[in-house]
């Protein structure tokens, strides 16, 4: 591969999580692959492997020692998903919840050829929590992470397509993938593959667009809609699937429509009742009423500016992902022992949005809404811009309030030299 095509050092600094998944530059990925074409990135062409993110040992720990419940695990075999009751049971004294994962049942099912699917690892496994949060920031789109562990020579799911883009990260073993062209390009979440099962099955008999074997450290990017199926080869195989739930113009369409309809609540003509004696045996509404509503709606849509939609778009974005985890006990303890030598770091993944008010500003983020006084506003702006603020500059009172509000974390204190 030409060195100019690989992920650059600048990409690794600006988008560190995404750069771990790409053998091309961000610009090439955005121009040639994002949402349109698969990309296979071999381990030798990537900055590092994925052993720090996940492993087969992690699968065992999550199943046997973390007290997980459904729906954090699915089990599949020969293209079908098993009922939860086949791999769950009560947890015993002091933890009698009936749908906890049963490690002994899962041992039997896995030995019999079933695939173990750990779901929402971006909520349950610390290295992936951190990585997924950074990747969501790098992409500007929300992500989720599942793992798939398949016995040798078994296929967990038959050929299908996803309604989100995916990055497949091979963790252990080898898996053979068959990729075929979409039968529906860029499907929405309301257009899942099982609505087109016959078309999918027919297309799955054709010649694959790609047929590749993923080894540990390889990464495969698939835009939504591409048909795919994977089979483990001569040993147990585990891979991560990172689902990217892309924001689309359809999201913008819904936001625009809702805003315009809300504005039309001030139109007295539209609030007026339809006439009495409506004939519900046919078309009950007169053509003139439809024309009136359509004309007013089109006019309202044309008046909407992008800035009018900013708050709604920011709200949707904030609700799509978690911020960096914070430690309540450690945070309160640290706030009580602050010194002027400490440094505050803006909490990752907050998606903050500052709006000025007469009294100062409102700060909206994934930590909620906070009122910022005019006195504190310059320091908060500096924190949002630079990402860090010393306690010496902020003052201990503001620093404690920022910590307790979940807006900052204290950077680790450096041990004294010598």
Task: Please spell the DSSP secondary structure of 167-229, one letter per residue.
Answer: EEEEEES-EEEEEE--SSSS--TTS-GGGGHHHHHHHTTS--SEEEEE-TT-EEEE-TT-EEE
How many C-beta atoms surround the C-beta of residue 31 within 10 A? 11
Q: Are 77 and 63 in contact (CB under 8 A)?
A: no
Per-residue DSSP letters for 372-388?
Answer: EETTTHHHHHHHHHHSE
pLDDT tens by residue, the chain, 418 residues: 333 445 567 777 889 999 999 999 999 999 999 999 999 999 999 999 999 999 999 999 999 999 999 999 999 988 789 999 999 999 888 888 889 999 999 999 999 999 999 999 999 999 999 999 999 999 999 999 999 999 988 776 789 999 999 999 999 999 999 999 999 999 999 999 999 999 999 999 999 999 999 999 999 999 999 999 988 888 999 999 999 999 999 999 999 999 999 999 999 999 999 999 999 999 999 999 999 999 999 999 999 999 999 999 999 999 999 999 999 999 999 899 999 999 999 999 999 999 999 999 999 999 999 999 999 999 999 999 999 999 999 999 999 999 999 999 999 877 666 5
Distance CA 118, CA 206 (A): 31
* Angstrom distance (rounded) from CA 167 to CA 241: 6
In tens, the pLDDT along 17-33 reads 999 999 999 999 999 99
Q: How many CB atoms lie within 10 A of CB 255?
A: 19
What residue has token string 């625009």?
256
pLDDT for position 7: 55
Which pLDDT belongs to residue 10? 73
17 touches 134 (CB < 8 A): yes
Which sequence spans correspond to the domains of the chain?
A: 3-55+103-244, 249-273+283-309, 328-410
Strand duo 219-222 + 39-41: pairing: antiparallel
Asked if omega into 71 is within 30° of 0 (cis), the reply is yes
Q: In this predicted model, what pLDDT tens digit does every residue of 343-400 receive, in sequence order?
A: 999 999 999 999 999 999 999 999 999 999 999 999 999 999 999 999 999 999 999 9
pLDDT of the residue at 6: 53
CA dist 145 to 135, 245, 399, Å?
A: 11, 11, 34
- The structure's pTM equals 0.90
Both tokens of 133, joined, read: 């949060």
Pair 259, 307: CB distance under 8 Å = no
Counts of helices then strands in the chain (DSSP H, E): 16, 19
Residue 92 CB partners (closer than 8 Å, separation 6+)? none
Q: Say which CATH topology domain 3-55+103-244 has.
A: Jelly Rolls (2.60.120)
Alpha helices by DSSP H, listed for 16-165, are 16-19, 26-32, 56-65, 103-111, 121-124, 126-139
Q: Report CA-CA distances (Å) from 16 to 28, 83, 115, 165, 410.
A: 16, 39, 31, 19, 22
Stretch (H or E) spanning 354: strand 353-357
The DSSP call for residue 153 is T
User: CA separation (Å) from 92 to 59, 86, 101?
Assistant: 22, 17, 12
Q: Is 176 within 8 Å of 228 (Cβ atoms)?
A: no
Q: Write the DSSP symbol of residue 78.
A: T
Backbone angles phi, psi at 87, to 5 degrees: -135, 20
């Amino acid at each position: 591969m030409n060195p100019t095509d690989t992920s650059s050092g600048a990409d690794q600094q600006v988008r560190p999580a995404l750069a771990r998944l790409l053998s091309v530059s961000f610009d090439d990925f955005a121009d040639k692959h994002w949402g349109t074409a698969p990309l296979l990135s071999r381990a030798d062409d990537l900055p590092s492997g994925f052993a720090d993110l996940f492993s087969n040992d992690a699968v065992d720990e999550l199943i046997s020692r973390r007290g997980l419940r459904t729906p954090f695990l699915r089990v599949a075999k020969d293209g079908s998903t098993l009922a939860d009751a086949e791999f769950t049971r009560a947890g015993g004294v002091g933890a009698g919840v009936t749908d906890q994962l049963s490690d002994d049942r899962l041992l039997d099912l896995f030995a019999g050829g079933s695939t173990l699917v750990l779901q929402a690892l971006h909520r349950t496994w610390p290295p992936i929590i951190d990585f997924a949060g950074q990747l969501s920031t790098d992409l500007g789109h929300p992500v989720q992470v599942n793992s798939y562990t398949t016995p040798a020579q078994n296929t967990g799911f038959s050929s299908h397509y996803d309604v989100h883009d995916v990055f497949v990260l091979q963790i252990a073993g080898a898996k053979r993938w068959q990729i075929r062209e979409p039968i529906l390009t860029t499907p929405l979440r309301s257009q899942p593959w099982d609505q087109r099962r016959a078309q999918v099955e027919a297309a799955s008999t054709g010649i694959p667009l790609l047929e590749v074997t993923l080894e540990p450290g390889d990464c495969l990017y698939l835009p939504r809609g591409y048909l795919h199926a994977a089979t483990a080869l001569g040993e147990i195989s585990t891979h991560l699937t990172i689902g990217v739930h892309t924001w689309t113009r359809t999201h913008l369409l819904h936001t625009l429509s809702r805003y315009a309809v809300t504005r039309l609540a001030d139109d007295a003509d539209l609030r007026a009742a339809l006439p009495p004696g409506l004939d519900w045996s046919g078309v009950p509404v007169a053509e003139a009423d439809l024309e009136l509503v359509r004309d007013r709606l089109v006019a309202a849509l044309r008046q909407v500016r992008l800035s009018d939609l900013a708050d709604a778009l920011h709200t949707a974005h904030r609700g799509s992902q978690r911020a960096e985890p914070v430690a309540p006990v450690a945070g309160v303890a640290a706030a009580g022992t602050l010194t002027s030598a400490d440094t505050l770091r803006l909490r990752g993944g907050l998606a903050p949005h500052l709006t000025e008010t007469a009294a100062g500003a409102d700060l909206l983020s994934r930590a909620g809404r906070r009122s910022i006084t005019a006195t504190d506003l310059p320091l908060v702006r500096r924190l949002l811009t630079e990402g860090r603020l010393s306690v010496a500059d902020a003052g201990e009172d503001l620093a404690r309030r920022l910590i307790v509000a979940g807006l900052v974390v204290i950077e680790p204190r450096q041990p004294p030299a010598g």
